[in-house]
Amino acid sequence: MPVLRIYEHGEALSRAAAELFAEQARAAVADRGRFVVLLAGGSTPRRAYELLAEEPLVSRVPWPDCHFFWGDERCLPEGHQLRNETMARQALLDRLPIPTTQIHPIRYHQKPAQAASDYVTELRRFFAGQSPRFDLILLGLGDDGHTASLLPGSAALHEQEQWTAVTRRPEEPFSRVTLTVPLLNRGACTVFLVSGRGKAAVLQSIFGATDTQGTLPAQFIRPDRAEAVWLVDREAASLLEEGHGGG
């Protein structure tokens, strides 16, 4: 059963997420000499990323040994405000002395399919032909149960061979590139960050009585090494019965 930790508010949730990131980074570098993290997009992780760039946490993380990938990206030009890369750079990466060779954005030029394929090449190169393994995978949750850019009912959700896929949300004028379930399940530590009342209903579907037969995209994330950890705030957990988790 996934681990559910409930925090009083978004700030406490973000602090817990940032502390967990620092802890995982130190452990991975001590054990294996590097820390490979898959960053989440959207807005929820921003505050956690900001806290990592400030004391006391900024001095605790072995930044020169950290390598950054993304779980998904919007097919928009480099620097576009809606790119997940832009958010992570503004909140964290551009505030730290991290070699550019250790930051691996999902680059988009003209064709989403090319961006998806280029990312596979990047992953294969980095993992030197071995199967990718991330020390930490951070994920968000959409109010429809999507995670990364794996949308409900999409073919990408059922992709078992390819490491990346191109998806599109009907209401958006751009495509997305997402890692697929096989890769998103290859995290030594997998953490969902969920905040706000807008996520209460979907969290109830995932943890509560509503039986979704595990059809929501976030329910496809069953890490092969350890149960996912869900860091949520009280608003997002407001429809869960008593006795679920505790921050």
CB 231, min distance to ligand 6PG, A? 12
Which residue, 6 or 17, has its beta carbon nearer to ligand 6PG? Answer: 17
- Any idea what DSSP says for residue 132? P
Taking the mean position of all CA atoms in its chain, how far away is CA 170? 22
Confirm if 91 and 84 have CB atoms less than 8 A apart: no
CB 192, min distance to ligand 6PG, A? 9
Closest by alpha carbon to 195, among 84, 86, 58, 42? 42
Which residue, 43 or 210, has its beta carbon nearer to ligand 6PG? Answer: 43
Could you list the residues that contact ligand 6PG (CB under 6 A)? 40-44, 72, 84, 140-142, 146-149
Which residue, 40 or 57, has its beta carbon nearer to ligand 6PG? Answer: 40
CB 132, min distance to ligand 6PG, A? 18
CB 51, min distance to ligand 6PG, A? 16
CB nearest ligand 6PG: which residue?
140
CB-side exposure of 134: number of CA atoms within 13 Å? Answer: 26
Which residue, 24 or 84, has its beta carbon nearer to ligand 6PG? Answer: 84
| Beta bridge pairs of residue 187 | 134
Which residue, 112 or 142, has its beta carbon nearer to ligand 6PG? Answer: 142
Closest by alpha carbon to 69, among 4, 124, 27, 109? 124
Q: Report the C-alpha gap between 237 and 244 in whole angstroms.
A: 9
CB 178, min distance to ligand 6PG, A? 8
Which residue, 29 or 139, has its beta carbon nearer to ligand 6PG? Answer: 139
CB 207, min distance to ligand 6PG, A? 17
Q: Which residues contact 77 (CB under 8 A, 6 or more apart)?
A: 108
User: Which ranges constitute the DSSP H helices of 94-184?
Assistant: 112-126, 181-184
